[in-house]
């Protein structure tokens, strides 16, 4: 992490979403990622956790100050409050906060808010007609799987993603990142911004139905298109692309590399760079369709020319000639790469280190203004913003309606 860069906190904030108020009741990954992105771009995000906290606070590994790296990586630029929403007085706090709020994001099980008397159709849409209500679930609220719990890996399995990932002989393989959760976060973000744009015309909010299952199915391109339109049964191809060749992993003397040849011009350039221009006269490799058909033979021929190469230097040469290629880096190497630093993709503030902001806006760039903090650390301020006075806040803390940290700053207290 020697090349991590420090980004100064912007206290004032001039993000694209400045003044956009978000109430975040979500936990774990998809919701918190979505609301962190909103916060990165200037939204005022109030995260309200249950008394026990977001469960990821207890997930290892832990940073130098004892906080969960998982939690801290996706919960910056938020205020951190804790309240018991199963209690009517906790729900009163929520209703007060929704006055003037633009968005409510939650991932409670289907019908939870309805049981609490806070259903969107019957209550919230009538009381807060401009509210954008984003409900993130595993499978949606109804249908054969509606309301059932959904976790990233399980959804990868049930939506067909695992079946097309991995090598043929190894069997279905989970994608190594929580790709469905992360993709669902992006879908939720897009839905919120779409609804906010439409609200400018109609003056009305709406309910957003975002689920992991839909997101996972949308990842099945081109496999689903090939099956639906041509009846082709997808197969696991490991690091090979099902529609392009050579687009796969090769071994070099310094380690594995990936070569991505997307068209005939790139194929010709690769062959010349590797000293095997003779392949251009081989009728088996004249077009991409033929190269895919004869992939195994092409792979073996190219591998012979790559075996004595250095992956890093060769990749640099190929990239310089417009040919996508890279040594296959591990996470440590990727985070330490000069281009990662150049793109400001590592942020550091004291003990806090995390990935940076991938969405770059020229005039209203995103900023890191506050770090993830202890459970309930902003509870008093959030209650004040909701209109409660000091004595009322003290009473709610004493009665276990809302929570603040103990003097140690590590766990919530009832008073």
Q: How does pLDDT run across 305-364, given as a tens digit for each residue?
A: 999 999 999 999 999 999 999 999 999 999 999 999 999 999 998 889 999 999 999 999
Residue 13 has pLDDT above 90, yes or no: no
Residue 45 near residue 126 (C-beta atoms within 8 A): no
pLDDT digits (tens, 9 = 90+) for 173-208: 999 999 999 999 999 999 999 999 999 999 999 999
Average pLDDT, the chain: 93
Structure tokens at 188: 């939720």
223 tagged catalytic: no
pLDDT band at 232 (very low <50, low <70, confident <90, very high): very high
Helix (H, G, I), strand (E, B) or coil at 214: helix
Residue 134 near residue 103 (C-beta atoms within 8 A): yes
The domains found in the chain, sorted by start residue, are 21-219+344-413 (3.40.50.10540), 247-328 (3.30.1540.10)
pLDDT band at 407 (very low <50, low <70, confident <90, very high): low
Q: What is the separation of C-alpha 275 from the centre of its chain, rounded to a whole number of angstroms?
A: 42
What Å distances lie between residue 253 and 47, 119, 337, CA to CA? 50, 61, 21
CA distance 118 to 98: 11
Ranges assigned E (strand) in 216-337: 247-252, 255-260, 325-327
Residue 11 has pLDDT above 80, yes or no: no
Residue 256 has pLDDT above 60, yes or no: yes
Residues in the chain: 415
CA distance 356 to 340: 9
Helix (H, G, I), strand (E, B) or coil at 246: coil
Residue 8 has pLDDT above 70, yes or no: no
Which letter does DSSP use for residue 162 in this model?
A: G
Half-sphere exposure of 118 (CA within 13 A, CB side): 23
Label residue 119 exposed, middle or buried (CB < 10 Å: 0-12, 13-18, 19+): middle
Span 5-32, mean pLDDT?
Answer: 82
Torsion, Cα of 258, 261, 266, 271 (10° steps): 60
What Å distances lie between residue 189 and 36, 132, 148, 213, CA to CA? 10, 12, 23, 16
Span 104-123, mean pLDDT?
Answer: 96
Helix (H, G, I), strand (E, B) or coil at 389: coil
Higher pLDDT, residue 80 or 13: 80
pLDDT band at 64 (very low <50, low <70, confident <90, very high): confident
Q: How many CB atoms lie within 10 A of CB 12?
A: 8
What is the pTM assigned to this prediction?
Answer: 0.92
What Å distances lie between residue 160 and 21, 118, 164, 187, 343, CA to CA? 37, 35, 7, 19, 34
Span 294-307, mean pLDDT?
Answer: 96
Helix (H, G, I), strand (E, B) or coil at 38: helix
Residue 164 near residue 222 (C-beta atoms within 8 A): no
All residues at 6 or more sequence positions from 355 whose CB lies less than 8 Å from its CB, including other chains: 73, 345, 346, 347
pLDDT digits (tens, 9 = 90+) for 125-169: 999 999 999 999 999 999 999 999 899 999 999 999 999 999 988
Half-sphere exposure of 341 (CA within 13 A, CB side): 10
Span 83-98, mean pLDDT?
Answer: 96
Positive or negative, the Cα torsion across 267, 272, 274, 278? positive
Residue in 135, 221, 241, 342 annotated catalytic: 241
Residue 411 has pLDDT above 70, yes or no: no
Which residue bears the tokens 């591998």? 303
pLDDT of residue 7: 53
Residue 42 near residue 364 (C-beta atoms within 8 A): yes
Q: Which of 12-16, 251-255, 310-314 has the lowest mean pLDDT?
A: 12-16
268: left (phi over 0), alpha (psi -120 to 50) or beta: alpha
Residue 1 has pLDDT above 90, yes or no: no
């Amino acid at each position: 992490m020697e090349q991590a860069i420090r980004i100064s906190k912007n206290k004032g904030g001039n993000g694209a979403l400045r003044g956009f108020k978000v109430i975040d009741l979500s936990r774990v990954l998809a919701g918190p990622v979505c609301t962190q992105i909103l916060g990165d771009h200037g939204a005022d995000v109030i995260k309200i956790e249950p008394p026990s906290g977001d469960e990821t606070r207890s997930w290892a590994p832990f940073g130098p100050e004892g906080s969960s790296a998982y939690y801290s990586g996706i919960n910056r630029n938020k205020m951190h409050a804790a309240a018991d929403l199963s209690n009517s007085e906790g729900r009163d706090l929520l209703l007060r906060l929704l006055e003037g709020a633009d968005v409510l994001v939650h991932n409670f099980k289907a019908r939870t808010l309805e049981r609490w008397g806070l259903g969107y159709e019957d209550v919230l849409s009538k009381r807060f007609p401009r509210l954008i209500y984003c409900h993130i679930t595993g499978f949606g609220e109804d249908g054969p799987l509606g309301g059932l719990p959904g976790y990233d890996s399980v959804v990868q399995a049930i939506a067909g993603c695992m079946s097309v990932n991995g090598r043929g002989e190894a069997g279905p393989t989970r994608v190594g990142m929580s790709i469905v959760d992360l993709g669902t976060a992006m879908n939720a973000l897009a839905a919120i911004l779409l609804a906010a744009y439409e609200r400018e015309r109609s003056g009305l909010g709406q309910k957003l139905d975002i689920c992991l299952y839909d997101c996972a199915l949308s990842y099945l391109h081109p496999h689903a298109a090939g099956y639906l339109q041509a009846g082709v049964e997808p197969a696991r191809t490991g690091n090979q692309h099902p529609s392009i060749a050579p687009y796969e992993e090769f071994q070099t003397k310094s380690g594995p590399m990936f070569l991505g040849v997307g068209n005939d011009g790139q194929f010709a350039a690769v062959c010349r760079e590797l000293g095997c221009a003779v392949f251009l006269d081989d009728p088996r490799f004249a077009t991409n369709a033929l190269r895919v058909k004869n992939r195994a033979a092409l792979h073996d021929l190219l591998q012979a020319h790559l075996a004595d190469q250095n992956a890093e230097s060769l990749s640099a040469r190929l990239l310089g000639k417009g040919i996508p290629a890279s040594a296959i880096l591990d996470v440590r190497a990727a985070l330490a790469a000069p281009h990662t630093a150049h793109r400001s993709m590592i942020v550091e503030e004291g003990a806090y280190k995390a990935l940076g902001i991938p969405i770059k806006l020229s005039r209203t760039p995103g900023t890191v203004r506050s770090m993830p903090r202890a459970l309930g650390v902003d509870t008093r301020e959030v209650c004040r913003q909701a209109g409660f006075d000091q004595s009322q806040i003290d009473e709610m803390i004493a009665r276990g309606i809302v929570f603040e940290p103990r003097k140690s700053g590590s766990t919530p207290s009832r008073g």
